[in-house]
Amino acid sequence: MLHLRIIVPSDKTTRVADLLQADRAVTNVIVLPGAARSPAGDAVVCDVVREGASNLLAALRELGVDRDGSIMMERVDTVLSRSAERADRRVPGFGVDAVVWEEIEHTTGEETRLSAAYLTFLTVATILAGIGVLLDQPILIVGAMVVGPEFGPLAALCVGLVRRRGALVRRSLVALGAGFPIAMAATVLATWGLDAAGLVERSMLTDPRPLTDFIWRPDALSWVVGVLGGVAGMLSLTSAKAGTLVGVLISVTTVPAAANAAVALAYGVPDEAAGSAVQLLVNVAAIVAAGVLTLLVQRVAWRRPR
């Protein structure tokens, strides 16, 4: 269930209250006249089951509440209420399957900012994966996959394409297009530094690496894994199952492929650099294609008569 706190201009309060009371998905409606100061107006609070949240938010925005007032939404983990149970039974479907588009846009939009934290996480993950490649250690590769923040912009790109949000698409492309080259350049420098310190050497890359050489050898399974990761990742975001997202992060080789390419460039091994670059592009394309398809299916499923 979701909790809404709405600030409504006084001349629209009656319409908003009637809208909430008439909605089968809404319960616990409270109207506080004159309670809001900035922006000025009345405060209205209510609870809504996830299955009906998108329709309600769309109706509120049609009334201009988001423009003239404010709408705040937060998740409620536990509700002990007979009326809330009745609202949940009245609305078809399951909350875990429901897509709240405004929530998804906001969540993924936050992940597209080219912030210092984003660049730091991506750089650290890529350097860590580069060390894992040289040591042929899958544990370090898995750790780098978990640390890498690149799935956020990829998910935002999918949402932007489906929702036709040009600004979200542009920010996502900037985050990916600038983030990976910066992280890879830092990994090249780190590799040179570690080599100068005698901690790594070129033979560690060129010698057989049975546990990690799949990173630079893309094949048909690379596309399959990317597609499955894109589907699972998008479902984890729309259903708010963070535990599933962790599994997605350790199943696709975006950061490891970028790291392998950077290390190969540092040591002048063009075939590995090219193979890793192809692996990276295959994974990104597969994730985006699968994510967009998943969102389109969910949109159609929730639009059909229930």
The predicted structure's pLDDT at residue 193: 96
Kindly report each contact of residues 219-222 with a partner whose C-beta sits within 8 Å and lies 24 or more positions away, as own/partner. Answer: 222/253, 222/279, 222/282, 222/283, 222/286
SS3 of 222-255: the string is HHHHHHHHHHHHHHHHHCCCHHHHHHHHCCCCHH
Report the C-alpha gap between 31 and 8 in whole angstroms.
10
Confidence of residue 241 (pLDDT cuts 50, 70, 90): low
Highest mean pLDDT (candidates 159-173, 179-193, 199-213): 179-193
The predicted structure's pLDDT at residue 303: 62
Answer positive or negative: Cα dihedral of 48, 70, 98, 228.
negative
Note the pLDDT tens digit of each residue in 140-178: 998 898 888 888 899 899 999 998 889 999 999 999 999
Mean predicted confidence (pLDDT) in 234-256? 67
**How far from 141 is each of 40, 138, 152, 215, 244, CA to CA, in Å?**
53, 5, 19, 10, 19
Domain residue extents for the chain = 2-96, 104-303
The predicted structure's pLDDT at residue 89: 84
Residue 54 or residue 275, greater confidence: 275
Phi first, then psi: give them for residue 231, nearest 5 degrees: -65, -50
Q: What is the dihedral of CA 126, 237, 113, 109, to 10 degrees?
A: 160
**200, burial (CB in 10 Å: exposed 0-12, middle 13-18, buried 19+):** buried
Confidence of residue 83 (pLDDT cuts 50, 70, 90): confident
Note the pLDDT tens digit of each residue in 108-123: 877 788 899 999 999 9
The predicted structure's pLDDT at residue 92: 72
The predicted structure's pLDDT at residue 248: 54
Note the pLDDT tens digit of each residue in 276-290: 999 999 999 999 999
Amino acid at 244: T
Top-level class of domain 2-96: alpha beta
Residue 293 or residue 86, greater confidence: 293
Terminal-to-terminal C-alpha distance of the chain: 20
As a whole number, the mean pLDDT across the chain is 88
Confidence of residue 305 (pLDDT cuts 50, 70, 90): very low
Report the C-alpha gap between 11 and 29 in whole angstroms.
18
Confidence of residue 245 (pLDDT cuts 50, 70, 90): low
Mean predicted confidence (pLDDT) in 46-70? 90
